[in-house]
Structure 1
Amino acid sequence: MNFALTEEQETFRRATRAFAEKEIAPIAAERDETNVYPVELLQLMANLGYLGLKFPSEYGGGDGGNLDAALVFEELAAASAGITLGIYCHVVLALTAIARIGNDDQKRRYLAPGIRAEKIGSFGSTEAGAGSDIAAISTRAERDGDGYVLNGAKLFCTNSPIADFIVLSSVTDATRGGGISLFIVDRGAPGLSVSQPIRTLGMHPAQTAEVVLENVRVPVENRLGEENRGVPNMLTAFAEGRIVAAAFAIGIARVAFDLARKYVLDRVQFGQPIARNQVIQHRLADMDTGIQAARLLTHQAAWLADHGRPFVKEASQAKVFATEAAARIAAQAMHLQGAYGYVIESPAQRYYRDTHVLEIGEGTSEILRNVIAKQLGL
């Protein structure tokens, strides 16, 4: 059993780390403070092939797999989780939904320009009364001639203030219970409005807002997939996303660990580095063990998906374990640095704030445990 990356993958991983350290890490603290997203970065990433990594070359992509995406997002998140969240929502949510569910025309109108960063995507599913319960959404899409008229509101739509299009869910047949469909809605459509960005605990650079739809007309050619098949379509798109979400969490955990390790080696108390204390050593040992275990789970899930094997259980396990481990590790890293970890100037507090949403988005830990239990036949 070979756990090593190929030479090509290792070279790619190193190149991605170098890119992230040069282009993202230097602006991470500033953008966390100003809450401004570096949209220009997406064009640079498109030019280097990152935005299309997972998608078919027919549309300008790189024909890569889930393991490639996991390697990329670990490195990006290590540089800035908030900036990476915008990339994630564009690539892993919006573009992946179109790539997996859309027809050729939709791929040419949205996926291809999305890969080139000519169009930026957002994804909207969550509502005031519908989070984990996807079937509880209240946004309605009424058929009207050669299109649909949409009314409703979506909460926590990351990228919506900077997006050119939004992939969102809407009820198309209330009598069917699960009669939900997906639509691609252009940002400039009459009747669509986006609120000011919502203030959040972490992920500050990411632009997350409420989207309101008032009699928004959407042509039938912008319905994504079959009518009333939105729930299974979303589950298909989300499954791979959980692998990337796990890698995202590992990136934050890794830099939090590195920061804590350096601090305990440098910090001298009672005449010696505090790293000489066994209690400190044990905490660092547990933190590193969590990172290594999370990475193994994540790479296993990615390998299964890339080889056409069932991977829903493993992707859910990776996401639950990695995001919960990241939250613990970030908290421990801040604690080990004492007051220095608590001040705003320290990145430790940013890592701590940024980890918490990862346990909520792409399926909460509780919902994913339900998924795992179902896969176990329970």
Structure 2
Amino acid sequence: MDLTLSDEQQAVRRMTAEFTDREILPHAAAWDRAEQVDLRIVKKLADLGLFGVTIPEEHGGSGGDHLTYCLVLEELGRGDSSVRGIVSVSLGLVAKTILRRGTASQRSHWLPRLCSGEDLACFALTEPDTGSDAGNLATRATRVDGGWRIDGAKMFITNGTWASVALVFARTGGPGPKGVSAFLVPMPSEGLEVTEIHGKLGLRGQATAMLSFDDVFVPAANLLGEEGEGFKIAMAALAKGRMSLAAGCVGIIQGCLDAATGYATQREQFGKKIASFQLVQQLLADIAVEADAARLLTWRVADLIDRGQPFATESSTAKLYASEAAVRAANAALQVFGGYGYIDEYPVGKYLRDARVTTVYEGTSQIQKLIIGRALTGVSAFA
């Protein structure tokens, strides 16, 4: 086992870290207050090739392996999870799925546009009445001459108001997972209404939307994969997506550690730096251990993917641990800051709010435990 990063991986990590320090961290609080990331960040991310990591150059990507991808998301997550989410959804959930399951025409049309940042994508699976129970989604696609017509609604869709294409999952057959298919739906489309969701606890700078489909026509060529494979496509995308989210959570933990350590070595109480207090050092040590553990679990998933090995259970493990650890780390960091941690002049309150939703989306912590439990016992608790 060799955990040494290659020269290329170290260079990408350093480049992304410098970009985060320069272009994201100074603006994160303002974007959070405004509930709007400055979309000029998209072109800047694209100019560095960050929307194309793991996508081959022949498709407009910048290449690289999945560990490099995790390093990128760690740094972006350290800066602002709202920015990290733009990349991990458009690239991680959608572009990678098009690469894996798309036709030659779909790949040639969408991948260069997504890798260049010219277009963004969203992943439309969750519905108002079906979150964890994605196999029973209600949005329906009906076959018509030349394609399909989609009716229904999707909820909590990241990049929903910014995207030029939505990867939409809709029922084309009978009940259950085998009746679901996947479609690439251009945005805007006639009959598709997009409503932005405001007032979120965290990820406030990120565009989160409800998508309403009213007889939206999709050409037959926009079916992704075979009819009836949509649920399988969605679950494969989420298995990798959980690694992405875990990497972003590692970034949150690292950000908490950097902020709390910096504050503790400057803040004085009782005539000395609070870093000299044993219980403050305990809080910092706990965050540091969480960072290492979450990072290594996440890197294991990347290694398995790059070696072509099964990784779904390990991805759930990393997502479960890293998301819960991010909440613990942010709580500990806020404790180090005391009352100052409770105002948004300092970053740890935002880290806590952003971390909290990571235990919910792309599969709740409880769902991850059921996935891990099924792998251990061979018995499904979903049935």
Structure 1 length as normaliser, TM-score? Answer: 0.97
- AA of the residue aligned to 1:10: Q
Residue 5 (structure 1) aligns with: 5
- The answer to whether 1:323 aligns with 2:319 is no
Q: CA deviation at 1:87?
A: 2.1
Within-5 A mapping of 1:90-129: 90-129=90-129
Residue in 2 aligned with 1:295? 295
Look up the equivalent residue of 1:260 and give its one-letter code. Answer: A
* Residue aligning to 1:346: 346
**Counterpart Cα distance in 2 of 1:198 and 1:266:** 36
Name the counterpart of 1:14: 14
Q: What is the match of residue 179 of structure 1?
A: 179
Distance (whole Å) between structure 1 residues aligned to residue 302 and residue 206 of structure 2: 26
Kindly provide the CA deviation profile for residues 152-187 of structure 1, in whole angstroms up to 9, marking residues without a partner as x: 000001111111111111000025653000111111
Aligned-partner residue type, residue 274 of structure 2: I
Structure 1: gaps (5+ residues): none
2:131 aligned partner: 131
Q: Is the 8 A contact 1:161 1:197 kept in 2?
A: no
Q: Name the count of aligned residue pairs.
A: 378
- Equivalent positions of 1:22-41 (< 5 A) are 22-41=22-41
Q: In 2, are the aligned partners of 1:129 and 1:136 still within 8 Å (CA)? A: no
State how far apart, in whole Å, the 2-side matches of 1:86 and 1:58 are: 23
Aligned partner of residue 195 in structure 1, secondary structure? strand
Deviation string for 1:235-259 (max 9, x for gaps)? 1111111111111001011111111
- Matched to 1:164, the amino acid is S
Is 1:200 matched with 2:200? yes
- Distance (whole Å) between structure 2 residues aligned to residue 176 and residue 53 of structure 1: 34
Indicate conservation of the 8 Å contact 1:13/1:71, yes or no.
Answer: yes
Shift of 1:114: 0.8
Q: CA deviation at 1:275?
A: 1.9
Letter in 2 for 1:377: T
Cα displacement (A) at 1:365: 1.1
1:355 aligns with 2:355: yes
Task: Identify if the C-alpha distance between structure 1 residues 316 and 176 changes in structure 2 by more than 3 Å, giving closer, same or farther.
Answer: closer
Q: Is the 8 A contact 2:123 2:158 kept in 1?
A: yes
**SS of corresponding position for 1:36:** coil
Q: Deviations over 1:176-227 (max 9, x none)?
A: 6530001111112110010133321011110001000000010010111110
Once the two structures are TM-superposed, the CA of residue 337 in structure 1 deviates from its matched residue by 0.9
Residue 334 of structure 2 is aligned to residue 334 of structure 1: yes
1:372 aligns to what? 372
Secondary structure of the structure 2 residue equivalent to 1:237: helix
Tell me if structure 1 keeps the 8 A contact 2:136–2:176: no
Distance 1:366 1:47 in 2: 38
1:163-174 map, 5 Å: 163-174=163-174
Residue aligning to 2:157: 157
Q: Distance in 2 between matches of 1:63 and 1:117?
A: 15
| Structure 2 residue matching 1:266: 3-state secondary structure | coil
Distance in 1 between the 2:177 and 2:310 partners? 28
Q: Secondary structure at the match of 1:122?
A: strand
